[in-house]
Structure 1
Amino acid sequence: MDPFQYATPLLAGARVTIELTLYSTVFGALFSFLFGIGRLSSLRLCRWISIALIEIFRGTSLLVQLFWLFFALPVLGQALGIDLRLPPVVAGTLALSLNIGAYGAEVVRGAIQAVPHNQHEAAKALDFTPRQTLWRIAIPQAVPEMMPSFSNLAIQNLKDTALVSLIGLGDLAFQAERIRNFTQDSTTIYTTLLLMYFGMALVITLLMRLLEKHASRWRARRS
């Protein structure tokens, strides 16, 4: 069978996958910094909330998290008299973002703690507040160290988007399975699917390398 006859639905699914990957990666990075910095906070409540969220989303299956947000949360909301139904794209984005955020939080925490102690001593000598030390000293030096790990998380996030097909979101995996069920052409469909995911992963790798170089130059200018 000619794989080009499947181009239109597969490209439509690829667009959904790309959008979902972009949204969840951006929000996942925000959650990474929020949870990671929160875990280092001197405020006990903030620290324990961050630790609890990190452990929950790292210690449970992404598939279960996705199903809970899409199927269980509306039932809980109904019991409370609140409409908590989430559209598939929102549930998928939120589950992916929180999951990647939990893993990324440990990357953020580790990179910030790896900043040499003498940098913190120099900040104290300059009478910096803890917040100024974090944002003007620690994070600029830590960001380039985070980039290789964030690149791996972004690629993993792309692959994890295939799970959203299970809640009816028409991503690349959903469209491929729909076509396969109709044509029974498993070899062509899954080979095309493999190559499309591989191509998107290569693009993410290249983009993350560019960001890594930019972050390194940014640190050099600030040092």
Structure 2
Amino acid sequence: MADFVPELVRALPRLGEGLLVTVEATLLGATLALVLAYALGLTSLSPRPVVRGAVRVVVEFFRGTSLYVQLFWLFFALPMLGFKLEPLACAVVALGLNFGAYGAEVVRGAVNAVPRTQTETAIALGMGPALRMRRVVLPQAHALMIPPFKNLLIQLLKATPLLSLITVADVTFEVDQLRSATGSTGAAYLLLLLLYFGMAAVLSLSMNAAERAAKRRLGQEGGR
């Protein structure tokens, strides 16, 4: 334990780099997940049974298979098919696909939760389907999506330690190197717990602010 603090000071630049890699993977993975969540979630509302069925298969496949296995398949198996991604790209794609599938259910549920009377009023005003979705449905659905999206974002962050398994030098990898150098397992992993707690707290506060802003736009009292 006596060697931990001096070694920690020497390792700070590497820990900083690892922290940036974790943040980068989280933000890029979350961005891809958000795009897929909207694409799959809105497409799942298609009036065509074939389209809805195809989207359901995709969503259930990525929700029903392990992120761990998906990550390893992209890193180890995909190159055998002639496609090779950088380790960080594998991580971003795996995180995006897995959490995008969960997010698709959030989008679908939030859109369906908007009162039917809102849509009927928009129809009476002569709005087409695209305009109704953009001007009436989605603004109300966004406020409903944010709390479950916050949970998914934090879960995505907590999944990033898997990156170290495919040679990505994230913060977990760097802390593990520090643990090996000092032999201070308890102190090293306590540091890692605190780092992840800090990142999760920042994400949670940011999403809470986004939720309040969305509610204010709708004139809801909870947004004050």
Tell whether the structures are fold-level matches, with TM greater than 0.5: yes
Cα deviation for residue 50 of structure 1 reads 1.7
**Of 74, 77, 92, which residue of structure 2 is paired with 1:72?**
77
Cα deviation for residue 170 of structure 1 reads 0.5
CA distance in 1, matches of 2:217, 2:93: 30
Match of 2:196 in 1: 197
Unaligned runs of 5+ in 2: none
Is residue 25 of structure 1 aligned with residue 30 of structure 2? yes
CA distance in 2, matches of 1:220, 1:173: 43
CA distance in 2, matches of 1:197, 1:4: 19
- 1:174 aligned partner, one-letter code: F
CA distance in 2, matches of 1:218, 1:90: 36
Cα deviation for residue 184 of structure 1 reads 1.8
- 2:108 aligned partner, one-letter code: R
- 1:42 aligned partner, one-letter code: P
Cα deviation for residue 8 of structure 1 reads 2.1
Q: Percent identity?
A: 44
CA distance in 1, matches of 2:106, 2:22: 25
Deviations 1:85-122 (A, max 9, x none): 00011110010011111111111111100110111111
- 2:195 aligned partner, one-letter code: M
**Of 67, 75, 82, which residue of structure 2 is paired with 1:62?**
67
SS at 1:220's partner residue? coil
- 1:180 aligned partner, one-letter code: R
CA distance in 1, matches of 2:50, 2:218: 32
Deviations 1:142-199 (A, max 9, x none): 0001111111111111110111110000101111112222322211110111100000
1:114-153 aligned at under 5 Å gives the runs: 114-153=113-152
Is residue 40 of structure 1 aligned with residue 39 of structure 2? no
SS at 1:169's partner residue? coil
Is residue 211 of structure 1 aligned with residue 216 of structure 2? no
Unaligned runs of 5+ in 1: 78-83
CA distance in 2, matches of 1:48, 1:134: 22
Which sits farther off after the overlay, 27-36 or 172-181? Answer: 172-181
CA distance in 2, matches of 1:23, 1:217: 28
- 1:29 aligned partner, one-letter code: L
**Of 17, 34, 45, which residue of structure 2 is paired with 1:12?**
17
Cα deviation for residue 131 of structure 1 reads 1.8
CA distance in 2, matches of 1:12, 1:56: 34
**Of 26, 29, 54, which residue of structure 2 is paired with 1:49?**
54
- 1:6 aligned partner, one-letter code: A
- 2:194 aligned partner, one-letter code: L
CA distance in 1, matches of 2:93, 2:146: 22
CA distance in 2, matches of 1:26, 1:212: 18
Which sits farther off after the overlay, 171-180 or 142-151? Answer: 171-180
- 1:167 aligned partner, one-letter code: I
CA distance in 2, matches of 1:36, 1:206: 26
CA distance in 2, matches of 1:48, 1:75: 30
RMSD value over aligned CA atoms?
1.4
